[in-house]
Amino acid sequence: MLNTYVKNNRKIAISILVSSIFLLLIGQNICVFAQTGKYSELPQVNNTNLHIQVYSHGFKFPTGMSFLGPDDILIIEKNTGKVKEIKNGTVSGTVLDVNVANISERGLLGIAVSDKPKYVFLYYTETEGVDGGKVLGNRLYRYEYDNGKLINPKLLLDLPTIPGPSHNGGVLKIGPDKQSVYLVIGNLNYAQNETFITKTQNKKNGPPPDGRGGVLRITFDGGVVDKKGILGNEDPLNKYYSYGIRNSFGIGFDPLTGNLWDSENGRSTDDEINLVLPGFNSGWREIIGLSNMTPGFNRENLEDFGGKGVYRDPEFVWRDTVAPTSILFFDSDNLGT
């Protein structure tokens, strides 16, 4: 059984999809049709009242999906850079094909769709000319959907890709105000190159923020929400909603409170679930896991941007690695009470 720790013994009403389950749900394992006419692998559910249904298949390393409408879904493929549309369970076509770097955790990584106006946001590691070509940047674009195609790209964020190639993050969410988009990005620094450790990674005398290691929040036009930064007004610090994030594949909003939560991946232990309030400092690289279980931890060593940033312990920690890859609030009574 996995060792877990919950801060203050609080119960968290969220569903966590760990990596193996996520891949089975929409990854390559279930995209292969066996000769028997059945899918070779499906998640196991230990509840006779719950059943798993294959809705669509045939995708290559999908990393995200978002609804255009009921029974109308956009799916993104990490390594091909393709955005495919599913209507009523059938792939109707490719609505966009962008050039992506796809080594390690680079690629087409995030998608979100807003309602009014109807925009499609994509985050990907863009390359010059072809897939796997010269890397240009980790970029957030806004598109418009028109008759089975994504058109009129507008560049909203141009973020670093170095040192890389891991910890690019990429999950996108539309904010509760329906007028902003949130993006989580890791430190892109798997090997811990000291040159690239910035203030938003709690190196108090380090280089200024460069867009890595946090949750960024912008308007649909790429501007600063409310025209005022949470941590400061210099660009790109003015776009940070939170910081101190090593690596994350999941953010989600509580539909009751509107609060943001995230899942974060530790080095080899201490995967986390965090409540992400404005100005939240997740603590990396000074701490990962719970402070009362981290010998020598001192909050004075954390960067707080003049008191505007606040460190909080995780709400939940796995001591053994599970590699969470998504976080979801189940806003329905279909599973009962």
Decide if 100 contacts 124 (C-beta within 8 A).
yes
Q: Which helix (H) or strand (E) holds 150?
A: strand 149-159
The 3-state DSSP class for residue 17 equals strand
Q: State the residue for tokens 């203050």.
A: 8
Full DSSP string of 171-231: -EEE-TTSSEEEEEE--S-TT--GGG--GGGT-TTSPPP-S-SEEEEEETTS--GGGS-SS
Q: 167 lies in which domain range?
A: 4-58+160-328
321 domain-assigned: yes
192 domain-assigned: yes
293 domain-assigned: yes
113 domain-assigned: no
Task: Give the type of residue at 250.
Answer: G
95 domain-assigned: no
54 domain-assigned: yes
21 domain-assigned: yes
Domain count, the chain: 1
Q: Tens of pLDDT along the chain (337 residues)?
A: 456 777 765 555 455 444 333 332 333 333 333 333 455 577 788 888 888 888 998 999 999 999 999 999 999 999 999 999 999 999 999 999 999 999 999 999 999 999 999 999 999 999 999 999 999 999 999 999 999 999 999 999 999 999 999 999 999 999 999 999 999 999 999 888 899 999 999 999 999 999 999 999 999 999 999 999 999 999 999 999 999 999 999 999 999 999 999 999 999 999 999 999 999 999 999 999 999 999 999 999 999 999 999 999 999 999 999 999 999 998 888 775 4
Tokens of 189: 């620094």
Could you tell me which residues come within 8 angstroms of residue 287 by beta carbon, excluding any fewer than 6 positions away?
294, 297, 311
CA dihedral of residues 308, 162, 251, 323 (deg, nearest 10) = -120
134 domain-assigned: no
